[in-house]
Amino acid sequence: MPRGRPRQSQNGTRATQDDDDGPLSQSLSQSQSQTQRRSQRRLSPVEEERLAARVVRYVLAAHGRGEPLRREKVRRLALEPQHGGYVNQVLQAADVKLRDVFGMSLEVLPNKRDLLLVNQLPVVENAPPLLAESELQKHGLLVAILALIFMSGDAGVDEDTLWRFLSKLGVHKDHKHECFGNVRKLVTEEFCRAGYLRKEEEVVKGVTVLRFFWGDAASVGVDAVDLLKFVCTIWGDEVEPEQWQEQYERALQLQEAREQREQARQQQ
Amino acid sequence: MEVDCTVDVYGDWHRHFMQAMLSQPAISADGLKKLVGDISGNTIRDLDQIKTFLLTVRSKVHSLGLDLKKGLSERDGRPVYALINTSGGEETVACAAFSEVQLRYLRALIQEVVTSVRGDISAMAALNLADGMPKADAQELLRRLVRDCWLEETDSRLALHTRAILELEPYLLRHYGEHVPRCQMCGKITVRGRLCEQDGCGAKNHHHCLGKMRDKMGVVKCQKCNSLMTDED
Ligand SMILES: [Zn+2]
Ligand SMILES: [Zn+2]
């Protein structure tokens, strides 16, 4: 799923140069001189290129297996210990490479902890499926869930509503689905771990139930306007996104936020 | 699709293609042809154009330590294309983000397969190699390794997938050189192949390469020691 479906290009967030969470920066008295020294010293272009390529290879490998991309893990696995302080320089260089070669950007999620690959290529009519059949179906399931949550507004969706909705689509939480396997695990664990969904526990009449919201990865990686179009195709031709006034406005706001981030990135 | 895309200038066609290659560990020659056709709105159809397209892709991805390579399947001799990491086996194995225990298991699997006589091991033997992890986890990991084209399964036997051989070649040569001699006919390393029975010869050739020789010459002869080889059953 993390493999981005092609869609309208958007934006990217960028970690700032001195946002380093290494042990040194925790001590304020030391951090100033450290930061100064670090920002003056940059990796040589050759070193930057070599390490960026390493990060790209790692990111692609992890992405291909549908694993969440953690900034810390990139630092640990793809960079040598002595380069820990340059993680942002290297991530930026990797982002440039990824855009150039794959048409994908490397986004830092608002929590600063997770990274996400986002497709930047324009949607192509009749493009070949870029996902394996099972991934494609998983993506469809995720989109359906995100759409349901989106249409429900800020309150999210409780577990019961979610499963009732999915059962109408022929997906049942306790059945072993031929493509999704254990559906409950996929939705409540895998999608949440990948950051597409966020779950919260709440107690209703003494029973703990889950409530689902859009995760950070969905906010950055899924285009809400596209999603509304998807909902419209399900509901039929006669409906236009504008008819869901409230949702449509929220979708446009999300899109605008993206565009602003992209502009900020380009001005850097 | 953009009108200004061309075969030999890296652009959105190539980027779409690379994205597609990310979502499949390996692709057949027909699959590749269809993919390139679909992406270019059937602009790229003939073989020369496809070759140019692939060359453009390859020269672009080299700087990332990646390559798009073609190999022949040791199972049936059919061509397989895969996007591989050329930075040299060790990193590949480590980069796959396995845990320490899983990594040890993967290395043990590779060793067992490569050093076996036929170049494959039974699924049961593979499970028994798991050390320090529950059987169910090992089973799950094996499924993943097959899905990601590290291994391929035929009749409950596991062998190295063509993709894995392409990517792990440096690693295999470094650690198991004598078990993966180069095939006398195609020059590529041989994991699954036929050993020459002649004492002290040690040549190993791909089944499909020997098959081609039989088709052409009517007999199968070891290219190293010149002894005739009987038909395989
Ligand atoms: Zn051969
Ligand atoms: Zn011989």
Distance to chain B for A12, nearest Cα, Å: 18
Contact flag B95-A121 (C-beta cutoff 8 Å): no
* B145 pLDDT above the threshold of 60: yes
> Is residue A3 assigned to a domain?
no
Ligand 2: centre distance to CA B89 (Å): 30
> Is residue A67 assigned to a domain?
yes
Ligand 2: centre distance to CA B184 (Å): 10
For residue A198, give the CATH number of its domain.
1.10.10.1210
**A119, A154, A175 - which closes a domain:** A119
pLDDT at B211 (0 to 100): 92
Instruction: Decide: residue A221, CB within 10 A, 0-12 exposed, 13-18 middle, 19+ buried.
Output: buried
| A268 pLDDT tier (thresholds 50, 70, 90) | low
HSE, CB side, 13 Å, CA atoms: give it for residue B86: 12
pLDDT at A236 (0 to 100): 46
Counted domains in chain B: 3
* A2 pLDDT above the threshold of 90: no
Q: Euclidean distance between the first and final Cα of chain B, in Å?
A: 51
Contacts of A62 in chain B (CB under 8 A): 97
Residues B105 and B156 both lie in one domain: yes
**What's the average model confidence in pLDDT over A48-66?**
84
HSE, CB side, 13 Å, CA atoms: give it for residue A196: 29
Residues A153 and A262 both lie in one domain: yes
The better pLDDT of the pair A53, A239 is held by A53
For residue B192, give the CATH number of its domain.
3.30.40.10
Residues B77 and B98 both lie in one domain: no
| pLDDT tens sequence across B180-203 | 999 999 999 999 999 998 888 889
> Is residue B2 assigned to a domain?
no
By residue range, what is the domain housing residue B161? Answer: 89-169
* B1 pLDDT above the threshold of 70: no
**A94, A119, A144 - which closes a domain:** A119
Ligand 2: centre distance to CA B232 (Å): 15
> Is residue B136 assigned to a domain?
yes
**B35, B56, B85 - which closes a domain:** B85
Measured torsion, CA atoms of residues B11, B17, B20, B21, in degrees rounded to the nearest 10: -120
Contact flag A56-B15 (C-beta cutoff 8 Å): no
* A193 pLDDT above the threshold of 80: yes
> Is residue A14 assigned to a domain?
no
> Is residue B63 assigned to a domain?
yes
> Is residue B1 assigned to a domain?
no
Measured torsion, CA atoms of residues B125, B130, B135, B140, in degrees rounded to the nearest 10: -90
pLDDT at A143 (0 to 100): 79
A61: left (phi over 0), alpha (psi -120 to 50) or beta: alpha
| pLDDT tens sequence across B156-181 | 999 999 999 999 998 899 999 999 99
A47-51, A76-80, B33-37, B54-58: the lowest-pLDDT one:
A76-80
* A58 pLDDT above the threshold of 80: yes
A24-38, A112-126, B41-55: the lowest-pLDDT one:
A24-38
Q: Are strands B79-85 and B27-28 parallel, antiparallel or unpaired?
A: antiparallel
Residues B30 and B16 both lie in one domain: yes
Distance to chain A for B231, nearest Cα, Å: 40
For residue A100, give the CATH number of its domain.
1.10.10.1200
By residue range, what is the domain housing residue A249? Answer: 129-267
Residues B72 and B32 both lie in one domain: yes
CA dist., res. B111 & res. A161, Å (int): 50
A30-39, A222-231, B24-33, B55-64: the lowest-pLDDT one:
A30-39
| pLDDT tens sequence across A198-249 | 999 988 888 888 999 988 877 776 766 666 666 655 554 445 555 556 666 7
Contacts of B25 in chain A (CB under 8 A): 64
Residues A60 and A99 both lie in one domain: yes
Contacts of B60 in chain A (CB under 8 A): 101
| pLDDT tens sequence across A109-160 | 777 777 888 878 876 544 444 445 556 567 778 877 887 887 777 788 999 8
Contact flag B23-A103 (C-beta cutoff 8 Å): no
| A86 pLDDT tier (thresholds 50, 70, 90) | confident
* B18 pLDDT above the threshold of 80: yes
What's the whole-number average pLDDT of chain B?
89
> Is residue A12 assigned to a domain?
no
> Is residue B26 assigned to a domain?
yes
- What residues contact A82, with CB distance under 8 A and at least 6 apart? none
The better pLDDT of the pair A252, B36 is held by B36
What's the whole-number average pLDDT of chain A?
71
Contact flag B16-A126 (C-beta cutoff 8 Å): no
**How many Cβ atoms from other residues are within 10 Å of residue A21's Cβ?**
14
Distance to chain B for A53, nearest Cα, Å: 5
pLDDT at B10 (0 to 100): 94
**B141, B169, B197 - which closes a domain:** B169
Alpha helices, DSSP H, located in A16-158: 28-40, 45-64, 71-78, 87-102, 133-151
Residues A91 and A145 both lie in one domain: no
- What residues contact A117, with CB distance under 8 A and at least 6 apart? A2, A3, A4, A59, A63, A69, A98, A104, A105, A106, A107
- CA triple B62-A15-B65, angle to 5 deg: 10
pLDDT at A243 (0 to 100): 57
Please name which ligand lies nearest the alpha carbon of B227. 2
DSSP label at B1?
-
Residues B81 and B97 both lie in one domain: no
**What's the average model confidence in pLDDT over B112-136?**
94
> Is residue B76 assigned to a domain?
yes
Distance to chain A for B16, nearest Cα, Å: 7
CA B184 to mean position of chain CA atoms:
18
pLDDT at A92 (0 to 100): 93
Ligand 1: centre distance to CA B185 (Å): 5
Residues B56 and B81 both lie in one domain: yes
* A5 pLDDT above the threshold of 70: no
Q: Residue A112 is which amino acid?
A: K
Contacts of A79 in chain B (CB under 8 A): none
> Is residue B174 assigned to a domain?
no
> Is residue A114 assigned to a domain?
yes
Instruction: Name residue B82's beta-bridge partners.
Output: B69
**A119, A142, A173 - which closes a domain:** A119
pLDDT at A20 (0 to 100): 35
For residue B135, give the CATH number of its domain.
1.10.10.10
CA dist., res. B199 & res. B206, Å (int): 19
Residues B76 and B21 both lie in one domain: yes
Ligand 1: centre distance to CA B205 (Å): 6
pLDDT at A22 (0 to 100): 31
Residues A133 and A103 both lie in one domain: no
Contact flag A61-B16 (C-beta cutoff 8 Å): no
User: Using an 8 Å Cβ cutoff, are A21 and A88 in contact?
Assistant: no
| pLDDT tens sequence across B28-38 | 999 999 999 98
Ligand 1: centre distance to CA B16 (Å): 33
* A18 pLDDT above the threshold of 50: no
| A12 pLDDT tier (thresholds 50, 70, 90) | very low
pLDDT at B31 (0 to 100): 93
Residues B95 and B165 both lie in one domain: yes
> Is residue A10 assigned to a domain?
no
- What residues contact A43, with CB distance under 8 A and at least 6 apart? A51, A83, A86, A89, A90
Please name the member of B18, B34, B35 whose beta carbon is closest to the beta carbon of A102. B18
Q: Best of B64, B100, B103 to disrupt the A interface by mutation (most A CBs within 10 Å)? A: B64
> Is residue A77 assigned to a domain?
yes
Contacts of B16 in chain A (CB under 8 A): 6, 103, 121, 124, 127, 130
> Is residue A124 assigned to a domain?
no
For residue B24, give the CATH number of its domain.
3.90.1150.220
Counted domains in chain A: 2
> Is residue B3 assigned to a domain?
no
